[in-house]
Structure 1
Amino acid sequence: MAAELTFRTAEPADVPALVALVESAYRGEASRVGWTTEADLLDGQRTDADGVAAVIGRADSVVLVAEDEGELLACCHLERRGSSAYFGMFSVSPGRQGGGLGRAVLERAERLAREEWGAAELEMTVIEQRADLIAWYERRGFSRTGEYSPFPYGDERFGIPLRDDLRFERLAKSLG
């Protein structure tokens, strides 16, 4: 990981770069360079400019970006939810995956949620079929809750499913 890594809060001008980053990490052939691809599970988009702009502008919400010499390399979205914080839109440029950048972003997000918001827990949802990704989160202290929610079939804003058994599992980590 580069020594020049800096973190900041995303601004509306970052929306196009954030959409491109998220799409590159999860969808299409470019995503296969990294290990976070969902290309075998979903086609279509992962997010869009309206969705990213909405989370940037929402109260009790922040999009954290990591840059190296001005190049946007990673991001995540945090949303305050009572005594917990929701962690999502976590993306690392495929060519930079596997080198500790994702771990650094997650640690920064945990620190922000705990120290600035007083959150006791960080929670997220992950597609249940993403065993490799769930295992990565478990190695970082997250637990599977056994709580599931349906995949939004028919809503192409979240992608076009390539199989009919997708669902999300809630993962949680104590920040105490």
Structure 2
Amino acid sequence: MNICQKIYLRRKSKRYLYYIIFLGVFCVLCYQVYFLKVVTDDVTRSLVTSTAKVSSLLSTIRGVRQIDMAKYKPNNHGAFVCFDSQEEIEYSRINDDYCDCVSDGSDEPGTNACVNGKFYCETDRLTGYLPAGRVNDGICDCCDGSDEWAQKFPQVRMSENDQTKLGRYQSPCPNLCPEDV
């Protein structure tokens, strides 16, 4: 083999080496672009899902006035902050029938777990707030019966006729709200 052929083969092998390196770099770049798209889609899906979870949780918190719902949004850590004590509790512990915010009962607006808790009758303009002890006690206090959401039957049941005479009803509650409410 003469010197010209050796130089030619060396150049040819360098060219193949450059092609292989170029192909490798191209594959790595394509993989990076693909991976970036997958991660971005996953993060977007995660954000949309967590936003939907929060909005569905906010729409299902019993006993809270609509204008006060902003107070029940989770903080940056995804937790609920008690109104008076500023204590952080897990968001899932709202309305879990255990009083975590002992000083104000703000974590239990829809149950009777806290002695100082308040339940808001959303459709009842006249009554407004009820003491938490009157939630699920078997007696209908809100005109729509929303305070008796567990629909527990009292042990001693009055007749329908007696309930109508007294104007006080037992669970399960009839909807007695005026049509314009």
Please report the TM-score for the alignment, with normalisation by the length of structure 2. 0.23
Question: Which structure: greater helix fraction?
Answer: 2
Greater relative contact order (CA < 8 Å, ≥ 6 in sequence): 1
- Which structure has the larger Rg over C-alpha atoms? 2
Structure having the higher strand fraction is 1
- Structure 1 length normalisation: TM-score? 0.23
